[in-house]
């Protein structure tokens, strides 16, 4: 009897040691990060699936801007938005591409282990610009911008001594786990991106009202910030996957979704850039600086502008409206003869626009 007890104690001791060794292996971070510089240790990291051993469902694809089957009649709008986003954020995208060379292989490994589309790595681009030290105004931290409570729910250690939200491997595993959890509810990756930003409740309410699980069908019922978040994700994923030949290069007026033949480009004469505005338009427009978006329909009503004029003169206004513009100030172009009226009605338009946007986000 004594020998059996001794053998049992030895077995328990060996199990405890093994368990400790495994936890030590997991706890040791593969990336040693200082500021934005990533030093890779020797060896290959063990990528841990968020649901290791569990059968993986078959997931849908992530739609790019040129996906007519998904976006339908709105494909021209979303490709136009993507091209404006590329031109407006070109410098930042080029910087992010340089960072991505070290972290995308790790993120790809985690997503592949979980059998979910690798294109979801671009969520980390719009969340943090691949900066693991990023901290938002509301307290979200790390490359995947986890709030403390969500991070802990996904198994991250967050305390005064350690914050796994800044750890590339642990936070990416947590992000994969969270995205799979959202996908189980929503069955569409763009809706997952929306819920990642707003929480699942607004998205589920929009689905219930429309009966659709297509992002474009429920877009108008989502918070404005969430709409912009999804559009920024689609634009970013499309730029990296389909327009990568423009990253770090001069961007032409006409965007091609297939990589141009270098010989053909060299042989072709570089056309003279066409002016965006005619001399007559430049003489008839005034520029006003705004720090908050004004509701487009309200602007058109107040200033007597039609949609064509408003968006031709302010071609990237929707980037500003959806909080995906590269500046907090927008130079709004309006008819010069309406300048005094704009100044007189500016306070009212700001107040009314906030009311409209808040009503849409309820």
120 and 240 co-located in one domain:
yes
pLDDT score at 324: 84
Closest CA to 121 of 265, 259, 241: 241
Domain range for residue 307? 279-360
Whether residue 170 is found in the same domain as residue 97: yes
Is residue 177 situated within a structural domain? yes
Are residue 201 and residue 314 in the same domain, yes or no? Answer: no
Residues 72 and 221 in one domain: yes
Distances (CA, A) of 96 to 37, 90, 100, 124, 128: 12, 10, 6, 10, 10
Of 246, 261, 294, at which residue does a domain stop?
246
pLDDT tens per residue, range 252-298 = 888 888 877 665 555 545 566 678 888 888 999 999 999 999 999 99
| Residue that terminates a domain, selected from 196, 221, 246 | 246
pLDDT on residue 36: 33
Q: Does residue 106 fall inside a structural domain? A: yes
Residue 338 lies in a domain: yes
Residue 345 placed within a domain: yes
Let me know: does 197 contact 225? Beta carbons within 8 Å. Answer: yes
Counting beta carbons within 10 angstroms of the beta carbon of residue 46, is it exposed (0 to 12), middle (13 to 18) or buried (19 or more)? exposed
The residues, any chain, with a CB within 8 Å of residue 170's CB and separated by 6 or more, are 29, 156, 164
- What integer pLDDT is reported at residue 313 of this predicted model? 92
- In a domain? residue 36: no
CATH of the domain at 154: 1.10.530.10
The owner of tokens 């005064």 is 160
| Residue 134, C-beta contacts closer than 8 angstroms, at least 6 positions apart | 127, 128, 141, 142, 143, 145
Query: Does residue 29 lie within any of the structural domains?
Result: no
Structure tokens at 90: 């070109």
Clarify whether residues 76 and 121 are in a common domain: yes
Q: Does 283 lie in the same domain as 242?
A: no
pLDDT tens digit sequence for 219-238: 999 999 999 999 999 999 99
Q: How many domains does the chain have?
A: 2
Looking at the structure, tell me whether residues 203 and 294 fall in a common domain.
Answer: no
As a dihedral over the C-alpha atoms of residue 61, residue 65, residue 70, residue 74, rounded to 10 degrees, the angle is 170
115: left (phi over 0), alpha (psi -120 to 50) or beta: left
Do 81 and 179 belong to one domain?
A: yes
- Residue 192 placed within a domain: yes
Q: What is the 3-state secondary structure (H, E, C) of the chain?
A: CHHHHHHHHHHHHHHHHHHHHHHHHHHCCCEEEECCEEEECCCCCCCCCCCCCCCCCCCCCCCCCCCHHHHHHHHHHHHHHHHHHHHHCHHHHHHHHHHHHHHHHHHHHHHHHCCCCHHHHHHHHHHHCCCCCCECCCCCECCCCECHHHHHHCCCCECCCCEHHHCHHHHHHHHHHHHHHHHHHHCCHHHHHHHHHHCHHHHHHHHHHHCCCCHHHHHHHCCHHHHHHHHHHHHHHHHHHHCHHHCCCCCCCCCCCCCCCHHHHHHCCCCCCCCCCCHHHHHHEEEEEECCCCCHHHHHHHHCCCHHHHHHHCCCHHHHHCCCCCCCCEEEEEEHHHHHHHHHHHHHHHHHHHHHHHHHCC
The answer to whether residue 73 sits within a structural domain is yes
107 and 215 part of one domain: yes
Q: Are residues 185 and 324 in the same domain?
A: no
Residues 65 and 149 in one domain: yes
pLDDT at 318: 87
pLDDT at 253 (0 to 100):
83
Q: Is the dihedral of CA 219, 225, 230, 234 positive or negative?
A: positive
Claim to verify: residue 230 and residue 331 sit in the same structural domain: no
Instruction: Return the CA Rg of the chain.
Output: 25
Contacts for 90 with CB less than 8 Å, ≥ 6 apart? 246, 247, 251
Ranges of residues in the chain with a pLDDT under 50 are: 1-48, 268
């Amino acid at each position: 009897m004594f020998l059996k007890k001794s053998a049992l104690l030895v077995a328990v001791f060996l199990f405890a040691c093994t368990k400790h060794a495994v936890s030590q292996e997991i706890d040791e971070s593969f990336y040693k990060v200082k500021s934005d510089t990533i030093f890779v240790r020797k060896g290959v990291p063990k990528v841990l699936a968020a649901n290791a051993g569990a059968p993986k469902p078959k997931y849908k694809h992530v739609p790019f801007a040129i996906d007519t089957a998904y976006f339908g009649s709105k494909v021209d709008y979303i490709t136009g938005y993507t091209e404006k986003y590329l031109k407006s954020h070109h410098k930042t995208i080029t910087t992010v591409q340089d960072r991505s060379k070290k972290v995308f292989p790790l993120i790809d490994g985690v997503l592949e282990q979980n059998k979910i589309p690798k294109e979801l790595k671009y969520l980390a681009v719009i969340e943090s610009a691949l900066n693991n030290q990023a901290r938002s105004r509301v307290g979200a931290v790390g490359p995947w911008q986890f709030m403390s409570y969500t991070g802990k729910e996904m198994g991250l250690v967050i305390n005064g001594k350690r914050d796994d939200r800044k750890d590339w491997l642990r936070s990416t595993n947590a992000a994969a786990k969270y995205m799979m959890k959202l996908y189980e509810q929503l069955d569409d990756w763009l809706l997952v991106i929306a819920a990642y930003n707003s929480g699942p409740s607004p998205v589920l309410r929009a689905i219930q009202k429309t009966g659709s699980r297509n992002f474009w069908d429920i877009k108008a019922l989502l918070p404005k910030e969430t709409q912009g978040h999804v559009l920024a994700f689609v634009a970013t994923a499309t730029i990296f996957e389909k327009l990568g030949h423009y990253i770090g290069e001069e961007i032409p007026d006409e965007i091609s979704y297939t990589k141009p033949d270098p010989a053909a480009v060299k042989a072709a004469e570089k056309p003279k850039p066409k002016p965006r505005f005619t001399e007559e338009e430049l003489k008839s427009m005034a520029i006003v600086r705004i720090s908050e978006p004004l509701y487009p329909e309200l602007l058109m009503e107040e200033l007597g502008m039609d949609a064509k004029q408003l968006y031709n003169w302010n071609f990237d206004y929707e980037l500003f409206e959806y909080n995906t513009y590269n500046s907090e100030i927008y130079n709004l172009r309006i008819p010069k003869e309406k300048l005094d009226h704009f100044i007189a009605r500016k306070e009212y338009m700001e107040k009314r626009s906030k009311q409209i946007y808040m009503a849409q986000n309820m």
